[in-house]
Structure 1
Amino acid sequence: METLPQLPEDIIVNILSRLPVKYLIQLKCVSKPWLSLISDPQFAKLHLAQSKKKSISQRVLLITVPLESAACEASGDDLDDESKLIFELEYPVAMKKTPDSDELVGWLDLGGSCDGLICVVFEHERIFLWNPTIREALELAKLRPFDRCGMFSYGLGYNSSTDDYKVVRVARPIFTVASNETEVEVLELKTNIWRRIQGLQSGIEIEGEGIFLHGALHWLASRQTGPKKIYIIVAFHMIEEKFYELVPIPDNIKETKHDLLILGISGDCLCLFDGCSYETVLEAWQLKEYGVKSSWTRLFSVHRETLHGPGCSVQYWEYALCYTKTGKVVIDYDGRELVWYDPKEKTSKTFTPCNDRDCFLPAIYIESLVSPHCCYATNRHNDKDV
C-alpha cells in the first residue's frame, strides 16, 4: 500500500492556521507533533492574525448557570437550531467556591476582552484572565483595596511594543470626579505587578468596560462643562499609558437619552448604541473614520414595537451588545433574553437561556488559541482546565 507523501511543515502550519479553533482543539489528539504545534504561543499568534484577516466572528458568553456561549453572527437556519446557535461551557475551577459546584467565589464584574481573553473581577479584588474557548484561566496579582466607596471601570488590551497584555483599573469615589482622587492602576502580564499611573483629567467620568481597538482602550465618558454634561469617547494609549479625548458623541443623540448609551465595536470601528426603557426608539451609530467626529454614521433606528410586537409594554432595559458583519444587532434584554435583530429585513429572533439564576451577564469575545499563560512571568496562581 502506498503512503501519502508528507507535506512540508510550513505548509501544514499554514493550513492549520486557517481552521476554526474548535477543529484545532480536536486535532491536538492526532499526534504529539500536532499537539506541540497547536499549543505553541507563536502558532496562536499566527492563527489569530489569520482570523483577523477574515474578520473574525464574535460570540457572547452568557455568565449564568449553566455557562453558555452564543454565536453573534448566527443567521438563517442557525437561529432556529439551538445546537448551532449556543453551547454550554464550564467555569474554571479557581473561580468556583468548591471544585464540584457552579457557585462562584464572589460577586462578579467584567473588565472587557481582547484576543479571546476575558477579564473577570471578583469583589474588586481577585482578577482573572480567562479564555473560555480553550478552557484556560489565570489568576493575577490581587488588586489593592480602594479605601473609599467607589465606582470601578476595567479594561484589557494588548501592547504591541512589548508583546504583552495589560489590565487597567480606574477607581473613583462615588461623590467626586476630582483628578487627584481618581486612581488608575495598570498590570502588565509579564510582571504581574499593579502600579499607579497618572489619572484622568479633572471632571471626566468614565463608565463601562474598556473597548480595545487601534492600540488603545476606549470608554464612554462625560465631562461637566458648567451646568451642562458633555458625552465623549475617552481613549487610553496602551504604549504611552496616557488618556486622551477621542471624539464627542454624535450631535443627533438627545441629552435626555443619556441613561443608556453603550459603547461597542463592529469590525475595526467603534459603535455607539443609544436607547432607553422609557423611549420608543433604539439607534446605532458607527464611527467610520477613527477619531473624526464628522464620520459618525447612523446604522439604523428601530421602534420597540418592531422588536416586541404591536402594543408591547417594555418592562426592562435593553442593551445592544454588538453590530455584526452581516448587519445584525445582538441585544441583551435585561439579562433575560438575547435578541438578534436584522434592521434591513426588520425581523428578530429571541433566545431565552434556561438558567438557574434570575439573569445572565454578557461578555463579548472571539474564539482564539491565545493562552492567558503566554506572557506570564511565573506559574504562581495558575489554574488550567483542559
Structure 2
Amino acid sequence: MAMSKAKKDLPEEIIFDILYLLPVKSIGRCRCVSKQWNNFLSDPQFIKSHFTLHDHKQEEKLILATWLSQLHTVTFYENEIDDEIDGISRKLNFEHLSDNWVTVAGSCNGLVLVVDRENISIFLINPITLKYHKVPVFDLSLPLLGRNNRRCCNMYGFGYDVVSDDYKVVNLSYYDTNHSEYKADTFVDMYSVRKGVWKRLETPYDHSLTDLASGVLVNGVLHWLACRKTEYSTVIAAFDLTDEKFLELPGPIDLGNNCFMCNLAVIRGCLSISTSISRDKNTITFWMMIEYGVKESWTKFKITEPDLDDSLGTLLCSITDDDLLLDVDEELVVYNMREEQRRDLMIDVTPVMYEVRTFRESLLSPSFGNETEG
C-alpha cells in the first residue's frame, strides 16, 4: 500500500534516482514491483551506472573452491564480542552445471572466472545473480594431452578493457616437460566476451619456468611472473588489455631479478610481490607498488610472527586496510599489520587453497546479456 501511494505521489525521476541508491540484493526484489520497474532495473545502462556508483562503497567478499570442489562466497562481518573479522559462507548452486570447480582464476567488476575440472571448461559467473557464460573452446588451444602424453599447463587471466568496453579472458598454455633446462613455447590466447571470438597473440617471455598462477589484475593490466627467453632471470610480465601486448614492469630494487620463489597479489588496490625467503625467521617480506609503473614507489613491508611458518605462507590479498589474508599450509589466516598479530579466519567451510579471489557485488552480465541463469 505504501509503495503504491509512493508511486502516485512521487515523480518517476525521483523514484528512479532512489532506486540507484539501493544495494544489489534489493534491486532483485524491486524488479517484482511492476513490469516498468523490471525493465528499468534490468536495463544494461542502469546496471552499469549502478555498479559505477556503488563500486568503491562496497566491502570486498571472498570466492573460493572448497576441498569438495564447491564454489563458496564469504561475507565478512565484525564480531561484536572480540572485534575479530569472521566470515559467513554461501554455496553457489548452478543448476545446469557440474559441481566440480577446481580454480577461481580471476575477478573483475563483480564477475569471476572459474574452471570446471570435470568438463575441462571455463566459465564467467556472477556470484550474486547466479548467471553465467561458458567460454567456448578455442580451435587452436592445446589439448589436455599432447604428443608423448605430455600434460598441458594453463594459466588464466581476466579483466576489463575500458577503451573497448569489453571483458577479456587470457589463457597462457604450454606443454609440461620433465627437463628443467627445456624452455617450453608459451601460447597466448585471448577471448573477447563482447565479440565472442578467440585470437592468438605473442609473448616475449617464457612462462613455463615459474609457478602456475592466474594473472593479477591491477590498473587494467594482468600480471604474471615470467622469465626472459635469453636468460633465467624472472620479471613481472604485464599484459595490457587495451593494447593486447606484453610489457615488462620494474620490480623492487632490493629484490633484484630473482623472483622464482615469489608470488603476486593485490594489496589495498596496489600490485604487490611477496617472498618467504628471508634471513629473518618466520618472516614474509612483501613490496607494494604505491604508484603504478613507478619503480621507485615500491615500498617494503614485513610480516613477522613467531607462529608463522614462512616456508608455507603465501600472501593472498587485503580484506581491510589493516588485515591481510594469507594461505598458511592450506589454512586461511588473517594477519593484522597494525597489531602485528595473526589468527585463523573463522568461517563455516574448509577451503582448499587453489586460488582465492576477492570480488564486489554487482548486477553486471557475464556475457553482455547473453548469459544463462543458474
- Shorter-normalised TM-score: what interval? 0.7 to 0.9
Q: Distance in 1 between matches of 2:253 and 2:151?
A: 34
1:327 maps to 322
**Which letter does structure 2 place at the counterpart of 1:364?**
T
**Deviation readout 1:140-184 (Å, 9 max, x if unpaired):** 212433445333211111122322211111112334446xx2211
1:185 maps to 189
SS at match of 1:348: strand
| Closer/same/farther in 2, CA of residues 162 and 359 from structure 1, 3 Å limit | closer
Aligned positions, number: 354
1:383 maps to 372
- For normalisation by structure 2, the TM-score amounts to 0.81
Q: Distance in 1 between matches of 2:187 and 2:367?
A: 27
Task: State the 1:70 CA deviation.
Answer: 2.1
Task: State the 1:241 CA deviation.
Answer: 1.1
**Deviation readout 1:286-313 (Å, 9 max, x if unpaired):** 1111111110012x312232xx3xxx7x
1:141 maps to 136
Q: Distance in 2 between matches of 1:357 and 1:332?
A: 10
SS at match of 2:215: strand
SS at match of 1:208: coil
2:214 maps to 209
1:70 aligns with 2:67: no
1:379 maps to none
Q: Distance in 1 between matches of 2:156 and 2:303?
A: 31
Q: Distance in 2 between matches of 1:267 and 1:302?
A: 16
**Which letter does structure 1 place at the counterpart of 2:264?**
L
2:108 maps to 114
Match of 1:159 among 146, 158, 161: 161
Q: Distance in 2 between matches of 1:232 and 1:75?
A: 39
2:272 maps to 271
SS at match of 1:170: strand
2:29 maps to 26
2:121 maps to 126
Contact 2:88-2:348 at 8 Å conserved across structures: no
Q: Distance in 2 between matches of 1:68 and 1:132?
A: 9
Task: State the 1:368 CA deviation.
Answer: 1.1
1:221 maps to 226
Percent identical among aligned pairs is 30
Contact 1:112-1:363 at 8 Å conserved across structures: yes
SS at match of 1:220: strand
Match of 1:349 among 339, 343, 353: 343
| Closer/same/farther in 2, CA of residues 27 and 274 from structure 1, 3 Å limit | farther
1:363 aligns with 2:357: yes
| Closer/same/farther in 2, CA of residues 27 and 12 from structure 1, 3 Å limit | same
Task: State the 1:202 CA deviation.
Answer: 4.5
Contact 2:71-2:91 at 8 Å conserved across structures: yes
Match of 1:150 among 146, 149, 152: 152
**Deviation readout 1:346-376 (Å, 9 max, x if unpaired):** 2333235554786675232221111213265
Contact 2:288-2:299 at 8 Å conserved across structures: yes
Task: State the 1:236 CA deviation.
Answer: 1.2
- The answer for unaligned runs of 5 or more in structure 1 is 97-102, 377-381
Task: State the 1:328 CA deviation.
Answer: 1.4
| Closer/same/farther in 2, CA of residues 159 and 202 from structure 1, 3 Å limit | closer
| Closer/same/farther in 2, CA of residues 164 and 320 from structure 1, 3 Å limit | same
Match of 1:374 among 343, 368, 371: 368
Task: State the 1:52 CA deviation.
Answer: 3.1
Task: State the 1:345 CA deviation.
Answer: 1.7
Q: Distance in 1 between matches of 2:89 and 2:373?
A: 21
Q: Distance in 1 between matches of 2:235 and 2:155?
A: 16
Mean Cα displacement is larger for which, 267-276 or 285-294?
267-276
- The answer for unaligned runs of 5 or more in structure 2 is none
1:51 aligns with 2:51: no
Q: Distance in 2 between matches of 1:239 and 1:51?
A: 25
